[in-house]
Amino acid sequence: MRVGVLGVGSLGFHHARILREVAGAEMAGVFDDSAERCEKVASELGVRAFRTADELLENVDAAVIAVPTTVHAQVAMAAIAAGVHLLIEKPIASTLEEANRIVSAAAEKKLVVATGHVERFNGALRACEPYLEDPRFVESHRLAPFNPRGTDVAVVLDLMIHDIDLVLGLVRRPVDGLDAIGVPVLTPSADIANARLNFSNGAVANITASRVSFERMRKVRFFQNSGYMSLDLAAGTGEFLRLKPGQRLPDGEIGVAALMGLVERIELKGDGQEPLRAELEAWVSAVRGEGPLVVSGEAGRDALAVALRIMERIEEHAAAGAADLRA
């Protein structure tokens, strides 16, 4: 299967680097609007530099789209018209209408479209899957120092959308309602945001994202009837705490030491595989019809839909606050 990468900036470079080594894929080459950047990456990785996006699309069966979000739809529709399977970096598009067009056009041509939500392939998350049942409460924190790259969109689409996708994948129910607040600190759009999602089954998720933090953090905690899980996505580790099989809590008061004797701690640790490599291997396998599509275009569209609702709520709160100040 011949594959290529459209857009070889910071993330696209790593897609191209890894695709050279993925079984079942032959790396055909790369394209970038910056001819200088394209030639540099192609030379470094030992692959072909295409002169135009159309030229690349004529020579591949599948492609990764890692161009700026604002042109995802334009590039994706051209690729679909050329009969090329896709992995589109998150968010899948700038608007819900664009996402729907991509998904519908791909379905009509029976093409595989995956969305690049790489955290789904985090080792800690994969390690917790055997213990995952029916989470009732999920809390996530994604904090990062300021980086000008990605600030063309609000922190909701830049960082929070990772955890929106994770939460949707964990709870697996429609979002009935939500509330959100966000504050611009260094850019015109929200740099810090918090959202509370209410699901149709009564589950709740509390999601916080910041790109103006002094520390880095990527943590998810969730509670279900069988126990409590805490995942450190940056480290790829976690733990699952639950009542030991056959144990019952005694009546009356119980000390901490006695309680810990009744609780079982299960260490959660990934296999050490690079999440981006796992994502690309799964995508290639899905395109070849040899495995499931883990994060579909539809899943990317659903995460985008919730993210856009969060941004609307943030804007509503900001408008209400501005009106109060004028009053």
d(CA 22, CA 44): 18
Predicted local distance difference test score (pLDDT) of residue 230: 97
Amino acid, single-letter form, for residue 262: L
Structure confidence by residue, pLDDT tens digits, 141-187 = 999 999 877 666 789 999 999 999 999 999 999 999 999 999 999 98
Mean pLDDT value of segment 110-130: 95
To which residue do tokens 């909701």 refer? 156
pLDDT over threshold 90, residue 282? yes
pLDDT of residue 211: 95
Instruction: Give residues with Cβ within 8 angstroms of 172, minimum separation 6.
Output: none
**Pick from 114, 6, 123, 119: nearest CA to 53:** 6
Q: Provide the 8-state DSSP code for 71.
A: G
- Rounded to an integer, the average pLDDT of 261-275 is 89
Residue 206's pLDDT is what? 98
CA 128 to the chain's CA centroid: 17
Residue range 120-274+307-315 forms a domain whose CATH class is alpha beta
Domain locations in the chain as residue ranges: 2-118+277-296, 120-274+307-315
pTM of the model: 0.92
215: alpha, beta or left, given left = phi > 0 and alpha = psi -120 to 50? beta
**pLDDT at position 327:** 67
| pLDDT above 70: residue 63 | yes
Q: What is the pLDDT of residues 213-263, one digit of tens each?
A: 999 999 999 999 989 999 999 999 999 999 887 777 777 777 777 767 788
Secondary-structure class of domain 2-118+277-296 per CATH: alpha beta
d(C-alpha 124, C-alpha 220), whole Å: 10
Distance separating alpha carbons of residues 263 and 322, to the nearest angstrom: 50
Mean pLDDT (whole number) for 288-297: 96
Sequence-distant (6+) residues with CB within 8 A of 208 are 140, 141, 142, 143, 193, 194
pLDDT digits (tens, 9 = 90+) for 6-44: 999 999 999 999 999 999 999 999 999 999 999 999 999
pLDDT at 318 over 80: yes
Tell me the mean pLDDT in the region 288-315. Answer: 97
Q: What is the mean pLDDT of the chain?
A: 93
pLDDT for residue 325? 67
CA distances from 109 to 14, 28, 64, 81 (A): 28, 22, 18, 8
SS in 3 state form for 234-278? CCCEEEEEEECCCCCCCCCCCCHHHHHHHEEEEEEECCCCCHHHH
CA pair distance 322, 327, nearest whole angstrom = 9
- What pLDDT is recorded for position 150? 64
Per-residue tokens: 229: 């899980």
pLDDT tens digits, 188-200: 889 999 999 999 9
